[in-house]
Homo-oligomer: A and B are copies of this chain.
Amino acid sequence: MSPEPLTAERILEATEEVLRRHGPGKATVVDVARALGVSHGSVYRHFGTKAALREAVTKRWLDRTADELRHIAGRREQSADGVLRAWLAALFAAKRQKAGGDPELFATYEVLLDGSSGVVAAHLADLVGQLTVIVEAGVARGEFTAVPGGAAATAEALFHATSRFHDPAHAPEWSRPGIGDAFEATVELLVRGLTATAGREPGRSRGH
C-alpha cells in the first residue's frame, strides 16, 4: 500500500496540497498523513514538530523566488544599472504574480510567514546578499557610489526603500492602477542616487 518510500520531499508536497485545499487554519498533520496513506506518527519521524513542517514548506516556497533572482544578480555582461533594474523588476513581478495568481494560497503563506521568523530572516538576508553583489559589481565598475557604510548598507537601504513592492504586507496595493508608475519612480530615484557623480560633496548639512 506504500508505492514509494516516505521521504521528506513527499511529505512537503502533500503538505502543500493540504494547505492549498484546507487553508492554514484547518490543515492538520493528520490530514497530511491521511493524504499520504500513513499514520501521523510517521510524519513526526521526519519533522519533529508541526512548526518545523510549516517552516520547511515555507522555506521551499521562498527559495523558489530567491533562486529565480539569483541568476539575474550574477549577470556580468550587463551594466550594473541594468542588472539592478532587472533584479528589482523581477522581484516585484514574482511577488505580484504570487499574490495575484492564487490569492488564497498567497494568504495561506502570509499566515505561515509570521510563524517562521527564522526562515523569513534567512530569506531576507539572502535577497539583501544578492543586492549586495549587484552593488559591489557596480562600484567595482565605477558605475555606482555606495553610501557611507559600504555596499552591504547600500543594499539594505535599497531593499527597504523598495519594500512597498515586495513586502507581503503591501500586497493589497499591488493591484492598484498607478502601481507600475510608482515602482518606476522609486527605482528611478534610487538608481539616480547610486549613479550620482562620485566626486560631489554628499551634502551632510544638518537639519536644524
Contact = CB atoms under 8 A, between A and B. Distances in A.
Of the four ranges (under 10, 10 to 19, 20 to 34, 35 or more), the interface on chain A belongs to 35 or more
A77 B73 CA distance: 44
B193 A153 contact: no
Interface in A154-208: 154, 156-158, 160-164, 169, 181-182, 184-186, 188-197, 202-203, 205-208
A144 to B, nearest CB: 11
**Chain copies in complex:** 2
A208 to B, nearest CB: 5
Nearest to A158: B189
Given A160-B182, A169-B169, A188 B148 contact: yes
A190 B188 contact: no
Interface in A36-82: 72, 79, 81-82
Contacts of A188: 147-148, 193, 202
Given A181-B153, A192-B192, A208 B164 contact: no
A169 B86 CA distance: 28
Given A192-B196, A193-B196, A181 B149 contact: yes
From A85, A87, A203, name the one whose CB has the most chain B CB atoms within 10 angstroms. Answer: A203
A149 B185 contact: yes
A74 to B, nearest CB: 13
Contact of A189 (B83, B85, B190, B206): B190
A82 B147 contact: no
